[in-house]
Amino acid sequence: MQVLKAVASLRPLWFIGVYLGVALIGGALLAPGLWHWVHSPMAYLPQLNFLETHNDFHRYINRCQMLLALALLWPLLKYNAMSNRHAVGLGRSGSEGFQWAGACLMGLCMLGIVAATATLAPHLNWNFQGNWIKHLRNTCIAALLVPVLEEVLFRGAIFGTLRRGMHWRTAAIVASLIFAAAHFLHPRQSNPQPVEWLSGLEMMTHIPDAFSNPGNIPKFISLYLAGFILCCLYQRAGNLYAAMGMHAAWIAGGKTLKFVLASNPASDPSSAAVLLWGRSDFLEGWIVVGVLALIAGYYFYQANQSHVSPRTAVA
């Protein structure tokens, strides 16, 4: 009987594994076909002109994988009896706006702490020159769209599915590892020449090479801690709106910091300053790891005090 219960508890984990495997491998197999279609004379459309400046094949792999993951989301939720908005954290209670705004403000405060520490970095220079209109437009679009898609996928669907078969803390650990790993699944290799039908899978074999960059180790840990914080917010609130608000603040604030901060190209990548703050991305520095670790501890404590069931989502 205990063995059957243990097997049943692992059922959501196996299903998530199959779901992710199909999305990753299927997206890599679909990417060459999309590439050839976009670059064929038959596919010429004025609306596709922007692809001339976004011609990296790894982008095609990433977009195909994301689109396939979203397309398979409904079967995943249907299989786990989570095919209504309440089950994926999109229920309405009337306080969603306050939850979103409060978490957004907290996320901006976190980035304010990081920005304040950046004034101590000798290799970083503040530069407020640039196309602010373009920056604000792109940042607003990303801050509105990305949190909705990623929260529904990683917290609502994946974390929500996992915690139906295991304690929410274990589910949060697994879901956060998946969230962090997903940001390293599109290696930025040069375009294969020529692009063949297995080129996507071949490029995926270079994923481990990303960790040859020392900055990607703290970046992975930071993304894991960020995912864990968002899981705790979902667990505590019973819906995704607070997690979406904090995620939106991180995207908007993070993009703005990268826009106004420039790294001295002559700085030594192995210097203590670069290791602490990162060269051009704060996620590549250990300062952010420390800040996120403290915040993760706080939200973990808060989630443990939550009235939400440890295994199931609040309807």
- 146 is written with which tokens? 């990305």
Alpha carbon of residue 59 to chain centroid:
15
* Predicted TM-score (pTM) above 0.85: yes
- For residue 188, the model assigns a pLDDT of 73
Please report where in the chains the tokens 């609040």 appear, as a residue. Answer: 314
Contact 111, 254 (CB under 8 A): yes
Q: How far is CA 167 from CA 9, 55, 159, 256, 292, in A?
A: 10, 43, 11, 37, 23
SS3 163: coil
Q: Dihedral (C-alpha) 172, 175, 176, 180: value to the nearest 10 degrees?
A: 180
- For residue 314, the model assigns a pLDDT of 38
Report d(CA 47, CA 259) in Å as an integer: 27
Q: Of 153, 242, 185, which Cα lies nearest the Cα of 28?
A: 185
SS3 258: helix
Q: How far is CA 187 from CA 26, 154, 263, 267, in A?
A: 16, 20, 23, 25
Residue range 86-128, pLDDT digits in tens: 888 888 877 888 899 999 999 999 888 888 887 778 878 888 8
**Residue 124: which H helix or E strand, with range?**
strand 124-126
- For residue 46, the model assigns a pLDDT of 55
Please report where in the chains the tokens 């702490």 appear, as a residue. Answer: 113
- For residue 295, the model assigns a pLDDT of 93
Q: Provide the angle, in degrees to the nearest 10, between the axes of the packed helices 2-38 and 168-182.
A: 20
Terminal Cα-to-Cα distance of the chain (whole angstroms):
29
- For residue 54, the model assigns a pLDDT of 61
- For residue 278, the model assigns a pLDDT of 81
Contact 210, 58 (CB under 8 A): no
For 189, which DSSP code?
Answer: P
- For residue 52, the model assigns a pLDDT of 52
Report d(CA 86, CA 212) in Å as an integer: 42
Report d(CA 69, CA 77) in Å as an integer: 12
Contact 101, 242 (CB under 8 A): no
Residue range 219-252, pLDDT digits in tens: 999 999 999 999 999 999 989 999 999 999 999 9
Residues of the chain below pLDDT 70: 1-10, 41-54, 265-267, 269-270, 306-315
- For residue 313, the model assigns a pLDDT of 41
- For residue 226, the model assigns a pLDDT of 96
